[in-house]
Amino acid sequence: MKVLLVDDEDELVSALAERLSYRGIDATWVNNCLDAQALAELNDYDLAVLDVKMPKMSGLELKRRLQEKRPAMKFIFVTGHGSEDDFKEASAEEGTYYLVKPINIEVLVARMKEVLAK
């Protein structure tokens, strides 16, 4: 599994990438949307984990841009705003998962596998 992690919180996203790599997941991280777009043009990621709220561009807008280049890429959103209940309806409607920070690594890995199985 090849994953792109995008979050403007360097410590969080780098630690997440490290924890995923311990589980055998090839995770690359960046802290901004422009770098994410550049990497997605060069690499074929299976999945992107995107922060919803970032400077200059939201995770939702980044998703649209990445889908133009990589239509098969799947997505999971993370947010520090709201609760899991706030996103349950949107998750069911769009087939997209939202996880609330702090992220439980085991839940994230389970969601990654679930998203990629669809």
- Average pLDDT for runs of 10 along the chain of length 118: 97 96 97 97 96 90 93 92 56 68 94 91
Pairwise CA distance, residues 91 & 52, whole Å: 13
Q: Could you list the residue range(s) of the whole structural domain that residue 108 is in?
A: 2-117
Structure token digits, residue 9: 């919180």
Pairwise CA distance, residues 75 & 11, whole Å: 21
- pLDDT, residue 81, reads 72
Instruction: Spell out where 1-118 has E strands.
Output: 2-6, 26-30, 47-51, 74-79, 97-100
At residue 71, the 3 state secondary structure works out as coil
- pLDDT, residue 83, reads 52
> The domain spanning residue 53 has which CATH number?
3.40.50.2300
| Tally of domains in the chain | 1
| 43 touches 69 (CB < 8 A) | no
- pLDDT, residue 80, reads 83
pTM of the predicted structure, to 2 decimals: 0.90
- Which tens digit of pLDDT belongs to each residue from 39-59? 999 999 999 999 988 999 989
Residue 5's contacts (CB-CB under 8 Å, 6 or more residues apart) are 13, 16, 17, 20, 27, 28, 29, 30, 48, 49
